[in-house]
Structure 1
């Protein structure tokens, strides 16, 4: 049964009011395309939210912050409700996704290699932001792969492979039960101190393939492949990259999770990883924090986006 809130949103366009539904319980309501002041969003824009007990009906206290000279407005809770760390990380994830999507379009990418796909979150985000090209996702663990396969089932341009990628073709034991942080590497002392999940000792045997060996199959049918490599393998990205061999030169761009503070034994530091990527012809276009220490503010990992400038379209 439709709630009163939803019925109200559905009626507003009939009286010339534009509604942007931001999700459960939150919407932006605009009259005549001009800002409208109600909660700080502007003179002609209301922010309509479902309220909690004791709050004023229709609105919740907060403010709107204009992002530089753009037309974008960030809707903020009242200062006493804000968590700076969560806000920064959420903003970084959003900006990273927007930037990657823009780079895919600029460089004419038509095949994204999604290595360390988990349940398909990255691929679904790309689809939501308008990328329509091929996606090839790799996830080695049985339970998570079943969720990935289900997510991709109705998308003919999304292929999935149950395997990991590495420096050589082999089998290996991967640590499981670490949720989105399953890894072929053991947890470091720092990692164990930060995440209690690392105390679990479950493993699963998986197949590991080389990136160079799967590329032809993954890009089959593409007349002029322009691939992009995304890696999120919990400390194993350089091993995946090494498995590309000389065929790494075919990628027009890439994204890698690089570590400032190492969660896994034997994983490379950020400097080593970035130097390897730059030596292969890629240049950084964006760096976005993935996790931060709540007590110190230090960044633990960044999402690093790099593109091959030589592959950029002519102006």
Structure 2
């Protein structure tokens, strides 16, 4: 065992999650019952981490002492790879914030629009959300992956179409890896920055439906539906939102990818999206960078989380522990 052992961490009482999460080269998010300010860290296996005393790494507490959480940072390494560190920490903050909103607003139905292979739904389950998830995904390859992922989860449903502002069919541009499939063509900026992902798209015919026409099916069986609308549609979020029509009032909270620098032609920018969402009664609870332009440090897109204030002030009381 290395000299001057400070502690050996193992999974324990943290909802099955490892208490140390790497967030980029030189930085770790630590959730554990210790507060030594001179820690060094080494992974032993999937379930164990070795923490040593040492001068190189700095411990920064996050939250009150009872949260038992903090950042362990090798400043030299972290600053040399700040983009990766910021992405890692931002992703964790975004996931935890969404989980917090779902709990506080008593959400029992998440509409995962633009589900891809189910990454978002799996993160919700890892974060402790147990309610209904309905994944909308039009690309055939990902529909198969989603159905396989959801096969053993009775509260996770998969619908093989996109949502928009009309009931129709359209050509979607699938790209290498299909991670950035969009109904819109790539902009000059998008092709320049995402060269490998947005070049040589392959068209695929998909079905599009309006949300107001399928909402009854989506919430069927829920006595008091409390709906969260998550949209990640590569430039098509506003059309998806408009497709809810007059039933948008039944959505209590939402998440939308908003653009500062559009990577698709015809993609609305953040001010236009925010204005329309606010007109329908939603207000921002958090914004988290999705991507940045490394050459200029500009944020390209944010994930924006919003709620109706009354969704929390009028939420049902928390279940009794008795």
Where does residue 191 of structure 1 map in the other structure?
Answer: 190
CA contact (8 A) 2:29 2:72 kept: no
CA contact (8 A) 2:210 2:243 kept: yes
User: Is 1:66 aligned to residue 99 of structure 2?
Assistant: no
Where does residue 218 of structure 1 map in the other structure?
Answer: 218
Where does residue 182 of structure 1 map in the other structure?
Answer: 181
Tell me the CA shift for residue 49 of structure 1.
2.6
Where does residue 172 of structure 1 map in the other structure?
Answer: 170
Q: Which moved more, 1:304-313 or 1:251-260?
A: 304-313
CA contact (8 A) 1:27 1:48 kept: no
Tell me the CA shift for residue 17 of structure 1.
6.2
Where does residue 206 of structure 1 map in the other structure?
Answer: 206
Matches of 2:84 and 2:69, distance apart in 1 = 20
Alignment of 1:263-302 (within 5 A): 263-302=263-302
Alignment of 1:78-157 (within 5 A): 78-80=75-77, 82-157=80-155
Where does residue 15 of structure 2 map in the other structure?
Answer: none
Matches of 1:66 and 1:137, distance apart in 2 = 37
Q: Deviations over 1:6-65 (max 9, x none)?
A: xxxxxx9xxx965244479x99797xx54346xx24xxxx633359xxxxx986953322
CA contact (8 A) 1:139 1:145 kept: yes
Tell me the CA shift for residue 96 of structure 1.
1.1
Q: Deviations over 1:167-207 (max 9, x none)?
A: 00000000012431100000011101111122213110000
- The CA RMSD measured in Å over matched residues stands at 2.8
Q: Which moved more, 1:254-263 or 1:206-215?
A: 206-215
CA contact (8 A) 2:29 2:71 kept: no
The structure with the larger Rg is 1
User: Is 1:231 aligned to residue 231 of structure 2?
Assistant: yes
Return the match for 1:49 from 43, 51, 54: 43
Pair 27,99 (structure 1): closer, same or farther in 2 beyond 3 Å: closer
Q: TM-score, normalising length from structure 1? A: 0.84
Aligned residues: 289
Matches of 1:112 and 1:63, distance apart in 2 = 38
CA contact (8 A) 2:175 2:199 kept: no
Pair 29,209 (structure 1): closer, same or farther in 2 beyond 3 Å: closer
Gaps of 5+ in 2: 12-17, 23-27, 316-322
Where does residue 54 of structure 1 map in the other structure?
Answer: none
CA contact (8 A) 1:166 1:242 kept: yes
Q: TM-score, normalising length from structure 2? A: 0.82
CA contact (8 A) 1:19 1:27 kept: no
User: Is 1:312 aligned to residue 316 of structure 2?
Assistant: no
Matches of 2:31 and 2:241, distance apart in 1 = 47
Q: Secondary structure at the match of 2:285?
A: strand
Return the match for 1:19 from 3, 10, 16: 10
CA contact (8 A) 2:164 2:208 kept: yes
CA contact (8 A) 1:253 1:282 kept: yes
Q: Which moved more, 1:69-78 or 1:155-164?
A: 69-78
Gaps of 5+ in 1: 6-11, 52-56
Q: Secondary structure at the match of 1:252?
A: strand
CA contact (8 A) 1:19 1:28 kept: no
Q: Deviations over 1:237-257 (max 9, x none)?
A: 000001100011101000000
Where does residue 76 of structure 1 map in the other structure?
Answer: 73
